[in-house]
Amino acid sequence: MSLRLYDSLTRRLRAFKTVEAGRVRMYNCGPTVYDRAHIGNFRAFTWEDLLRRYLRFKGYDVCQVMNLTDVDDRTIAAASARGVPLADVTDPVIEMFLEDWDTLGLEEPEHRPRATRFVDGMIRLVEALSERGLTYESEGSVYFAIGRSPEYGRLAGIDAKGLTAAGRAAGDEEYDKDDPRDFVLWKGGDRDADGAVAVWDSPWGPGRPGWHLECSAMAMHHLGETLDIHTGGVDNLFPHHTNEIAQSEGVTGKKFSEFWLHAEHLLVEGRKMSKSLGNCFTIPELVDRGHAPSAIRYLLLSGHYRAQLNFTFDGLEAAAKAVTRLYEFRDRVRAAGEAETDASADLEDAATRARAAFEAAMDDDLNVSEALSAVFGLVREANHLLDRVHPRAPAGAETALAVIDAFDRVFGVLAVRGRESSGGDDELVAWATARIGERERARKNRDFARADAIRAELEARGVIVEDLAEFTRLRMGGRTIQVPRPLGAAR
Ligand code: AMP
Ligand code: ZN
């Protein structure tokens, strides 16, 4: 099966292919670290994590780069307002960002460049663009002349000639341009001015890099001139990514990225996020209200990335239930796999079908709804099979367990859920299940003293054991798992 992804540049679903066989070079526009990231930002980041994980699942070696925008208008405004150096604002925000990243169980990218550490490379890009005649200087600032870039605007589907109004609407503040459509590469600034918190020397005098230039420089530094995938939220299409293409391709003359992927925005209770509505929730705000990170992660991943995602508190409750259902199901098949029971092909069949449907759905531009329905279809079918005394199938249980493990390598919610149960809980379940298997063998050999000793051992670790007709029920902390008993076992 092969992966197809929707490329925003060509506006088509295209078969995914890498520049270098087996290796994906991916750049994600990271957070602007002027304030703690909100759940909207984390919708983008969590989806990028899903994409990373799915690429790895498909066998690719992934090199993922997500930058930290630690110098731009917003970070500078925050530092100037407080009269502190830029890093006094950005360092703590980066720390919070990494904390939230960890809370949601996102995998660590290979590189997390900070823009302020790459200013030299940015200056070199401006020099290279100047040598190619694509820039002009005005009052200490350097601009990109989009009139000299024939392909400009293709990504956003805009005709560069009609861009005047859009460029202004995008909030450009530079009035020294030859053409209002042009964008700044290097913004001249006075080192001694009041509130100057971010100024570097350059061949054009003191100043700072433009935001778009930062991403071009960091992406090419770590990933080379042509990336496989570049992502961001839809708000990045224009002007940010449009300008990144103009700059990068202006320097190299090569295609900047093979695929451009964009995630739609997150809404909260049906409304656009905004500070004035008070709905820009952060991860710790939700956790403080008692919501589990695993449920937040699940909800953020549960809609297709190209559709807006409506984040609601009802949805969060439903997400928590869905995660628990999967979590308990995994315990149950684990236990079924440990028991010595009759083999049956039914569970094996259901699991094999679910696994194929899961991968086919994810291959289809990461169709998570279909992928989840394949997994929950298996949960339903397998629970039904396991509810019956016959047939219970160790071989099938192993296949079902492999499907859940595959699911979680990609979705990563059960791993987070595991951390939420009392520490080491997963380990306790595995251990208790193994001890129950041992106890059944002792009973079969009529070694009741040993069986009782094992029960005492379990109870010493807080595991309550109840023998039912078909199951041994184990209760530990808030969890209950049922270990199927071998057919004809002594009671
Ligand atoms: P920023 O910190 O504003 O530079 O944004 C970081 C990332 O979050 C970018 O990829 C944005 O496109 C994305 N983003 C911002 N707001 C939202 C939202 N409401 N929903 C989804 N993604 C968003
Ligand atoms: Zn960017």
The residue ranges of DSSP E strands in 167-311, in sequence order, are 183-188, 207-209, 227-233, 257-263, 266-268, 271-272, 309-311
Provide the 3-class DSSP secondary structure of residue 275: helix
Atom 14 in ligand 1: which residue has the minimum CA distance? 41
Task: Tell me if 74 CB under 6 Å of ligand 1.
Answer: no
Task: Tell me if 43 CB under 6 Å of ligand 1.
Answer: yes
Q: 44 C-alpha to center of ligand 1: Å? A: 6
Task: Tell me if 418 CB under 6 Å of ligand 1.
Answer: no
Q: What pLDDT does 365 receive?
A: 98
211 and 86 in one domain?
A: yes
Provide the 3-class DSSP secondary structure of residue 226: coil
Task: Tell me if 265 CB under 6 Å of ligand 1.
Answer: yes
- State which residues form the domain around 477: 429-484
Q: 93 C-alpha to center of ligand 1: Å? A: 15
Amino acid residing at 125: L
Task: Tell me if 295 CB under 6 Å of ligand 1.
Answer: no
Least confident of 47-51, 448-452, 480-484: 480-484
Q: From the alpha carbon of 28, which atom of ligand 1 is closest?
A: 10
Summarised one tens digit per residue, pLDDT across range 133-163 is: 999 999 999 999 999 998 899 898 877 766 6
386 and 346 in one domain?
A: yes
Q: 41 C-alpha to center of ligand 1: Å? A: 4
159 and 204 in one domain?
A: yes
Q: Average pLDDT, stretch 387-401? A: 71
Who's near 373: CB < 8 A, 6+ residues apart?
361
- Distance in angstroms (rounded) separating the CA atoms of residues 319 and 300: 9
Q: What pLDDT does 338 receive?
A: 66
475 and 396 in one domain?
A: no
453 and 416 in one domain?
A: no
Last-in-domain residue among 373, 403, 421: 421
164 and 216 in one domain?
A: yes
Dihedral sign, CA of 341, 479, 432, 462? negative
Determine what percent of the chain is predicted with pLDDT higher than 90: 72
Summarised one tens digit per residue, pLDDT across range 75-98 is: 999 999 999 999 999 999 999 999
How many domains does the chain divide into?
Answer: 3
Atom 8 in ligand 1: which residue has the minimum CA distance? 41
347 and 250 in one domain?
A: no
Give the ligand with the smallest distance to the CA of 300.
1
H or E stretch covering 5 = strand 4-7
Q: Best mutation site among 41, 46, 231 for ligand 1, i.e. most ligand atoms within 8 A of its Cβ?
A: 41
Q: Is the model's pLDDT at 19 over the cut of 60?
A: yes
Count of residues making up the chain: 491
- Distance in angstroms (rounded) separating the CA atoms of residues 5 and 58: 14
129 and 74 in one domain?
A: yes
Q: Is the model's pLDDT at 486 over the cut of 70?
A: no
What is the average pLDDT value for the chain, to the nearest integer? Answer: 90
Task: Tell me if 245 CB under 6 Å of ligand 1.
Answer: no
Closest by Cα among 103, 96, 106, 104 to 68: 96
Which CATH number characterizes residue 204's domain?
3.40.50.620
140 and 248 in one domain?
A: yes
172 and 253 in one domain?
A: yes
CB atoms within 10 A of CB 200: 17
296 and 194 in one domain?
A: no
Q: Is the model's pLDDT at 174 over the cut of 80?
A: no
Summarised one tens digit per residue, pLDDT across range 433-481 is: 888 988 988 998 899 999 999 998 888 787 888 887 777 888 776 677 7
H or E stretch covering 68 = none
Task: Please indicate, yes or no, if residue 272 is contained in any of the structural domains.
Answer: no
223 and 74 in one domain?
A: yes
Q: Is the model's pLDDT at 167 over the cut of 50?
A: no
Task: Please indicate, yes or no, if residue 286 is contained in any of the structural domains.
Answer: no
